Amino acid sequence: MADLRPDPKKIAFVASPAPEAQEAIERLTARYGNVAGDEAEVVVALGGDGLMLQTLHKYISTGKPIYGMNRGSVGFLMNEYAEDGLVERIWTAERSVIHPLAMTTIDIHGERQDALAINEVSLLRETSQVAKLRISVDGNARMDELIADGVLIATPAGSTAYNLSANGPILPLNATLLALTPISPFRPRRWRGALLPDRVALTIEVLESAKRPVSATADHHEVRDVAKVSVEMDRSKSMILMHDPGHSLDERILREQFGA
């Protein structure tokens, strides 16, 4: 059987601007080399979760596995930082395959924009006026009017980010679900969101968009003054996250649910 382990001479390092990340990339490059991203068999990201998201977006169409080491603050998606034994850690890492959400927006002028989200797509009011939203699932209206600061759709990988802060559910990484979570809901007052199969097509229409403007954001890509937002999972694109044994995303999500 062919050896499928990455070539240790074909690692591409990327780092955030933080001093500790820049120091790390200098030391690791001197020790392990650093090839261009298009030549690499694995990409090692040095920073926090923000850098990991940027790296995943950059390599989203390549299928290259991403191994992150924490040189930032939270680092939920990252492994612990260590300079020794990096090649061995990459060889033995557990792989998690994730798919992004595809967001399509139509703004109040009829202009269309497309973007991908690894964590979540969120809609949020732009002014002091609360948003009024209509939510449809697979073309069927499921909520005629949600009055809230906004709403978000999170993937399992993103369920511990903004979604968790908005009191949304934590999803196991292998769950074939999406979390639909309201942001500060006013009406219906007791609605806490929904768990949806990850094969559905969601449409959110902004009601009274001139009076109550709403923005839509796919991870870091924001579109202002939207009138309609469509969201569904894009299975044509796959990303591979690598984690040390015992520290996979599944394990981290499980620990998060028990407050560990």
Q: Which residues are catalytic?
A: 49
Which pair of tokens denotes residue 70? 């924490």
Asked if residue 17 has a cis previous peptide bond (ω within 30° of 0), the answer is: no
Residue type at position 209: S
Q: What is the 3-state secondary structure (H, E, C) of the chain?
A: CCCCCCCCCCEEEEECCCHHHHHHHHHHHHHHCCCCHHHCCEEEEEECHHHHHHHHHHCCCCCCEEEEEECCCCCCCCECCCCCCHHHHHHHCEEEEECCEEEEEEECCCCEEEEEECCEEEEEECCCCCEEEEEEECCEEEEEEEEEEEEEEECCCCCCCHHHHCCCCCCCCCCCEEEEEEEEEEECCCCCCEEEECCCCEEEEEECCCCCCEEEEECCEEECCEEEEEEEECCCCCEEEEECCCCCHHHHHHHHHCCC
In angstroms, the CA 198 to CA 159 distance is 13
